[in-house]
Structures are given as structure tokens and as C-alpha cells.
């Protein structure tokens, strides 16, 4: 019987995403082991995220990649939006699972969504992209940082009198079934922010392996979703062209259409805002078209 050691962070969301991979790989001759590995991002909850963060670029991925390179695990499971655009030498993204929802969701103490929040209310997010899009809609709001796993952030909202709302990824909120488990019991309200553009790769689960581990790469090919991969590749190519990491204030959503790939993106650069969209036959071309439009 083949043993596959799966490395993951220990957060509720990381474990839920690992279960999605385990279910997809389930086979009678395969023994799946889950190995929890703590990352800098898990240990340094005092450190802010973003361009001024003292944490390394791969705050939520580096320790998993080190364990993979050492041969301690066979695969590492990541939220793709946390993964730097360049793999360390010797590693490859061997599978991208079918994508979940790409949108953000507002969790609020008031019904009616973002526009219904009281004037000058405080909204929490650790994302520069989300902050910029929130203030684009509601410049009167105060946006402050927040750390912790997804359920912890929701509980902080409920327990913190000064906080009116927070913004999360819809995919994580749904994968953890937090509407039923937390939001409803805490009398919190939700609104899908359909007009916000997500982080590149948001909603997608990436599985890394060693390039030299051909049996594991072949196994992962069976759960790889090429349409999701094509879309997130376009988004991440644009991110790489802008020279930014996971915390760049960039929103991007690519969709597969009959003519090729349609990519929409918004980039907040200091006080400037750039929006562009393009349609092209392949990922490299569409990313280059949007990148060129940003620089005009």
C-alpha cells in the first residue's frame, strides 16, 4: 500500500482544504497521512501582513516547502493566493483543484451590506486590496487590520464593540460552513461583495510536490483541474509582472470563455487606481495586455 504524506497548516480552513484533497485522492490502495506544520504566519499573529510586514514573502508556505524539500512529506496543500508566484528550485505545483467561489463576503452586525454600515464605522481586514475597494465604496469608513484564523476573526467581530464588520474570502467561509456554525448564532449578517475583484488565485487550492517525485506528480494529475489552472495562471502572471507578492493591492479575476481567457483587474498604486480588462487566446497574452494597459 502506498503512503502519501500530506503537509498542511493547522488552521480550520487549511484542514478543511486538506480533506477536499484527501476525498479527491481516495483510493483503496492509498494510505493518506496528514502532517500539520506551523508556519511563520501562524506563529507571528502579532505581525501585520502587507508590504511593511516583518514576515517573509511566503509567510504561510515556507515551512511547508522546506518540509517537502527535505522529503518529510510528499505533498503540501496551500491556499493558492498565499503561494508566491515562483516555486523554490525542485518544487512544482503538481495540481490545482477545482476552484471554489472567488468573491469576498462582508460579515456585519447590520443587515443591508456595505452601504448600510453606520457612517465612520470600523471594518476589519488584513488585505490592502480589500481595504482599497472598501474605501472606494465608502471613503468615510475606518479600515483596520485583523489577524487570526477565519473563525477567530468572526468571534473577534462579535466580541469587539468598536468593530462593525469584517471582510473574508467567500470560499473559506463556505468551506467551513460558517454561516450556520457562527454567523447565524452570533446574529451576524452576510453580503457577497460581487463587485469586488478577488486576490489572484482566490478560491483555488494548490498542491505542491517535488519535481523529481514522478509517482506523486502522476497521482496528483488525476485531481488537477485544467480550466481552474488556466484562469489562476493568468491572474498570477499579472501579479508577477507587477513585481508584487501576495499582499499587493491587486484584484484580478480570469474566466474561461469560448474565445480564450477574459481577465479583469484593478490595481491600487499609492493614491492611483488602475482598471483594465482584456480577452486573449492564452494566459501569457492576456496578462501582458492587462499589464500594458496598467502602465499607460
CA separation for the pair 268, 149 (Å, rounded): 26
Could you give the strand order of the β-sheet that contains 104-108, starting from the edge strand earlier in sequence? Answer: 142-144, 122-124, 163-169, 104-108, 189-193
Between CA 111 and CA 117, with CA 116 as vertex, the angle to 5 degrees is: 95
User: At what angle are helices 12-25 and 150-159 packed, to 10 degrees?
Assistant: 150
Among 42, 82, 104, 213, the one annotated catalytic: 82
Could you give the strand order of the β-sheet that contains 260-269, starting from the edge strand earlier in sequence? Answer: 250-257, 260-269, 272-280
Please state which architecture CATH assigns to domain 1-98+203-224: 3-Layer(aba) Sandwich (3.40)
Instruction: Say if 104-193 and 225-296 have the same CATH topology.
Output: no
Which fold would CATH assign to domain 104-193? D-Maltodextrin-Binding Protein; domain 2 (3.40.190)
Please list the ranges in the chain whose pLDDT falls under 70. 1, 42-57, 246
Any idea where the domains of the chain sit in the sequence?
Answer: 1-98+203-224, 104-193, 225-296
Q: Distance between the two ends of the chain, CA-based, in angstroms?
A: 57
CA separation (Å) from 116 to 106, 110, 120, 122, 192? 11, 7, 11, 13, 14
Q: How many CB atoms lie within 10 A of CB 99?
A: 19
**pLDDT at residue 286 in the model:** 98
User: Of 171, 218, 249, which is closest to residue 74 (Cα–Cα)?
Assistant: 218
Q: Residue-wise over 201-211: b if at least 16 C-beta within 10 A, else e? A: bbbbbbbbbbe
In the beta sheet, which residues pair with residue 268?
A: 273
Q: Are 64 and 11 in contact (CB under 8 A)?
A: no
282 is catalytic: no
Best CATH choice for the domain 225-296 from the list 3.40.50.1370, 3.30.160.40, 1.10.150.50, 3.40.30.10:
3.30.160.40
Three cell numbers, residue 14: 487549511
Query: For residue range 30-68, what is the model confidence (pLDDT) as tens digits?
Result: 999 999 999 887 665 554 555 444 345 677 899 999 999
User: Of 251, 55, 76, which is closest to residue 147 (Cα–Cα)?
Assistant: 55
Three cell numbers, residue 218: 502522476
Amino acid at each position: 500500500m502506498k503512503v502519501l504524506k500530506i503537509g498542511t497548516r493547522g488552521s480550520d480552513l487549511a484542514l478543511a482544504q486538506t480533506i477536499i484533497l484527501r476525498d479527491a485522492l481516495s483510493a483503496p490502495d492509498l494510505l493518506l497521512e496528514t502532517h500539520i506544520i506551523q508556519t511563520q504566519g501562524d506563529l507571528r499573529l502579532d505581525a501585520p501582513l502587507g508590504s511593511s510586514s516583518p514576515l517573509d514573502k511566503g509567510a504561510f508556505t515556507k515551512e511547508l516547502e522546506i518540509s517537502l524539500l527535505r522529503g518529510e512529506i510528499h505533498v503540501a496543500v496551500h491556499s493558492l493566493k498565499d503561494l508566491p508566484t515562483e516555486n523554490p528550485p525542485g518544487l512544482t505545483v503538481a495540481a490545482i483543484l477545482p476552484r471554489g467561489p472567488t468573491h469576498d463576503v462582508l460579515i456585519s452586525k447590520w443587515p443591508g451590506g456595505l452601504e448600510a454600515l453606520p457612517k465612520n464605522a470600523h471594518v476589519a481586514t488584513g488585505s490592502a486590496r480589500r481595504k482599497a475597494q472598501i474605501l472606494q465604496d465608502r471613503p468615510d469608513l475606518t479600515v483596520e487590520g485583523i489577524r487570526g484564523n477565519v473563525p477567530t476573526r468572526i468571534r473577534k467581530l462579535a466580541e469587539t464593540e468598536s468593530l462593525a464588520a469584517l471582510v473574508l474570502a467567500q470560499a473559506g467561509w463556505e468551506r467551513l460552513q460558517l454561516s450556520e456554525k457562527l454567523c447565524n448564532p452570533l446574529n451576524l449578517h452576510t453580503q457577497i461583495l460581487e463587485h469586488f475583484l478577488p486576490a489572484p488565485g482566490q478560491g483555488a487550492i494548490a498542491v505542491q510536490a517535488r519535481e523529481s517525485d514522478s509517482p506523486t506528480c502522476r497521482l496528483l494529475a488525476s485531481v488537477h483541474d485544467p480550466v481552474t489552472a488556466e484562469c489562476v495562471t493568468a491572474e498570477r502572471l499579472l501579479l508577477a509582472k507587477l513585481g508584487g507578492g501576495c499582499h499587493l493591492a491587486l484584484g484580478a479575476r480570469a474566466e474561461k470563455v469560448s474565445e480564450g481567457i477574459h481577465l479583469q483587474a484593478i490595481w491600487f498604486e499609492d493614491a492611483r487606481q488602475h482598471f483594465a480588462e482584456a480577452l486573449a487566446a492564452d494566459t501569457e497574452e492576456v496578462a501582458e495586455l492587462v499589464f500594458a494597459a496598467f502602465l499607460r
